[in-house]
Chain A
Amino acid sequence: MDDLILLNILILGGTAFIAALVLYIVSKRFAVKTDEMVISIAAALPQANCGACGKAGCADFATACARADEASFANLYCPVGGAAVMQKIASLRGFAATDKAPTVAVLRCQGNCQNAPAKVNYEAVSSCRIANRISSGQSGCPDGCLHLGDCVKVCKFGALSFDEASGMPVVDSKKCTSCGACVKICPRGLFEIRPQSLAGGMVYVACRNKQKGAVARKNCSKACIGCMKCAKICDKIKIENNLSYIPPEVDAGEFGAELAQNCPTSAIIYKERIHD
């Protein structure tokens, strides 16, 4: 009986030892050389794998950072990690960190149930992509929010939520990492990633309607009517197809409050600085 136990231990133990030896030799002989720099950079990254940097994922971005020279490093930026993470990576590489203004996604539509009341009922699949193909939407505005929340479903960071009272998606600017997933999914292109200047906040036109003023106003009380008032305040503002667009270069601190006050339909939104 004792012999049997001893024999078992010997056979199993011996097999285990030989297997371990083989594994050890193989792991030493065929070891994949990894760059220590890549591992340490990857550890600093948020590991969201969202693709916002333009690379396939965090590992790909870390490799690109590790291989970049000083000039090409300046073009790499992780919008999710922001300045803090880039600072860390820059110090690992021994480069100077590029200073970029923090960005955030903004919804360029104010067509909620009060401003743009529904005229018809939508009954098909609860998806903006499908609704956009079928009709101009419940309010009748062919460029407005469809209130079906494809953007909320696609946001990986929980920064978009659906406000039941207004029927509109709301961006939580603290959680938003400006990964751009909402920009890609929205069939009407209502989201835009905008930098917030460090001095002031940001100012943008919350409307994408290209119809003539009178037609646009029929569907939504806060539609841009292309009245040119904003263009008179700041000459960088361009008005095309009855729609005003405020480029990100416009200094929100200088013009923001004035633009928002003078917009006759309050289509221009001015927000004070949110990021720290």
Chain B
Amino acid sequence: MIKEYTFPMGGLHIEKYKITADCPIVEAQIPEIVNIPVKQHIGSPAKILVSKGDKVKVGTLLADADGIVSSDVHSSVSGEVIKIEDLPSASGYEEKMITIKTEGDKWEKSVNRKPEVIKEINLTQEEIITKIREGGIVGMGGAGYPTPIKTSVPEGKKVELLIINGIECEPFLTADDRLMVEHAEEIIMGARVINRALGIQNAIIAIDENKPRAIEILTNLSKRYIGVNVKVCRTKYPQGGEKQLIKAITGKELPLGKLPIDVGCIVQNVGTVFAVYEAVLKNKPLFERIVTVSGDGCQHPCNYKVRVGTPVSDLIEATGGLSTDVHKIVLGGPMMGNAIVNTSAPVTKLTSGILLLKDENFSKKEASSCIRCGKCALSCPAGLRPFAIKQAISFNDTAEDLRKLHAGDCIECGCCAYVCPANIPLLDYCKIAKQEIRKK
């Protein structure tokens, strides 16, 4: 019998809606104007190096990482910097952005644009980490944690295993799936690059069983490379969560408040691994990514390769425009993504999908009183009691009380709100609880 890899606690089997799984990646048109935010990662915003009127090329460094937890930002188009201003982001709040007017498509000479896959790694650990840092790579699963920190092992810690996260458990999204199908070899090489940086030999590519093509291609390819293995996981949401994936693959429980490195694992998203490959072996910094534009309100769903800074509205136009019955536009997946208020907001390094939703399944239903059924607690993969957190928030409890409920360990997967028969938006309360705890 084949062992099935999955995590035991909580989780849901939800409808997949992977309608773009067979759509090849298409290069999106380069927009006339891009707005590139200087903060596309966790940590402090990058220091701006360019000024108004400067000419930049594709791949030119625009802003330098400010501190360790920060990341470089590169230009995604060639042209002229026309303004550096606070502009409304997807949430409507303002962020510092660099606006560039596109002129042609001239790339920096250092970037290797040949399509052949480079299979030789002649770099030392330090050189690899420096290249990852200079490439402005961040965790592309959505968290935006700067990758150079994750690829350098701190003293006293020991890493045994690199897990490549190809789960993509969110409905609709197929960006990672397509990347694995079309760039399988690059991902394996990226895994070897990170392995060398970590000084280890083992990498596991974890793929959800609902991606048969990616499993087939990567399994066949991985036979040629020693140390790279593919493991197929049983579909369950949120398998792509770091803790859940480690539990599913290694059986090790990640204790509360600990990092994956404490149990000897490093988890990287396939998107990140691909970006690492490009940055280290092709000198191409991270300025474009795969974005799934989908949803039941989308006329021609598609996977695009998009330059960072492209307005969301351009991509919506490219798929046939916004029809009047679209109920909401979501950035990210339907479970964890946020509905946006501003379609002129740019695509960032962390945008995995743009969803146009119209079905009433995706709209809010009137919330009624909690009936204490406990479904939210059963479905919670972090083992929390969302109903208790909701109650604590409605009674204005202190941060200390919220900490006792371990609200800070919520991974914001949205399972609780999804299963609630009373339609209580439990996830919103959990997010507020996390915010209160962080405030202290």
Give the interface of A toward B (CB within 8 A). 119-121, 123-125, 129-130, 133-137, 140, 142, 211
Contact = CB atoms under 8 A, between A and B. Distances in A.
B94 interface: yes
B338 A211 contact: no
A124 B425 contact: yes
Nearest to A131: B428
A137 B92 contact: yes
Given A124-B425, A124-B428, A134 B338 contact: yes
A123 B360 CA distance: 13
A129 B429 CA distance: 10
A271 B350 CA distance: 49
B428 A120 contact: no
Interface of B: 86, 88, 91-94, 328, 338-342, 363-364, 425, 428-429, 431-432, 435
B338 A123 contact: no
A135 B429 contact: no
Nearest to A154: B396
Contacts of B363: 123
Contacts of B340: 135
A135 B425 contact: no
Nearest to B429: A125
Contacts of A136: 88, 91-93, 341-342
A239 to B, nearest CB: 18
A2 B340 CA distance: 88
Contacts of A142: 88, 92-94
Nearest to B432: A130
B364 A134 contact: no
Contacts of B92: 135-137, 140, 142
A135 B341 contact: yes
Contacts of A121: 328
A140 B428 contact: no
A245 B429 CA distance: 34
B427 to A, nearest CB: 9
Given A124-B364, A135-B91, A135-B92, A140 B342 contact: yes
A215 B88 CA distance: 10
A129 B342 CA distance: 20
A182 B297 CA distance: 41
Nearest to B427: A124
Contact of A119 (B86, B328, B338, B341): B341
A117 B364 CA distance: 22
| Consensus secondary structure, chain A interface | loop
Contacts, number: 50
A121 B86 CA distance: 24
A119 B93 CA distance: 15
Nearest to B365: A123
A137 B432 CA distance: 17
B192 to A, nearest CB: 41
Nearest to B424: A125
A140 B88 contact: yes
Contacts of A134: 91, 338-339, 428
A133 B435 contact: yes
Contacts of A137: 92, 341
Contacts of A135: 91-93, 338-341
A3 B375 CA distance: 67
Nearest to B340: A135
Given A121-B328, A136-B88, A136-B341, 5 more contacts: A123-B363, A124-B428, A129-B432, A135-B340, A140-B88
Contacts of A140: 88, 92, 341-342
Residue among A120, A133, A135, A137 with the highest chain B CB neighbour number at 10 A:
A135
A121 B362 CA distance: 14
Residue among B88, B91, B92 with the highest chain A CB neighbour number at 10 A:
B92
A236 to B, nearest CB: 28
Contacts of B429: 125, 130
Contacts of B364: 123-124
Given A125-B429, A140-B92, A120 B341 contact: yes
Contacts of B91: 134-136
Contacts of A125: 425, 428-429
A101 B61 CA distance: 58
Contacts of A120: 341
A127 B363 CA distance: 18
B3 to A, nearest CB: 41
A133 B425 CA distance: 15
11 contacts: A120-B341, A123-B339, A123-B364, A124-B428, A125-B429, A133-B435, A135-B92, A136-B341, A140-B92, A140-B341, A140-B342
B339 to A, nearest CB: 8
Nearest to A120: B341
A184 to B, nearest CB: 11
Contacts of A211: 86, 94
Given A125-B425, A142-B94, A133 B432 contact: yes
Contacts of A119: 341
A135 B94 CA distance: 11
Q: Sorted from nearest, which 8 A-B pairs have the closest CB atoms?
A: A136-B92, A123-B364, A135-B91, A120-B341, A125-B428, A135-B341, A135-B92, A142-B93
A134 B427 CA distance: 12
Residue among A129, A133, A136 with the highest chain B CB neighbour number at 10 A:
A136
A140 to B, nearest CB: 6
A151 to B, nearest CB: 14
A35 to B, nearest CB: 32
B235 to A, nearest CB: 28
A133 B94 CA distance: 13
Contact of A133 (B86, B339, B431): B431
Contacts of B342: 136, 140
B357 to A, nearest CB: 12
A142 B363 CA distance: 24
Nearest to A140: B92
B63 to A, nearest CB: 22
Residue among A120, A124, A125, A137 with the highest chain B CB neighbour number at 10 A:
A125
A223 B389 CA distance: 38
B384 to A, nearest CB: 18
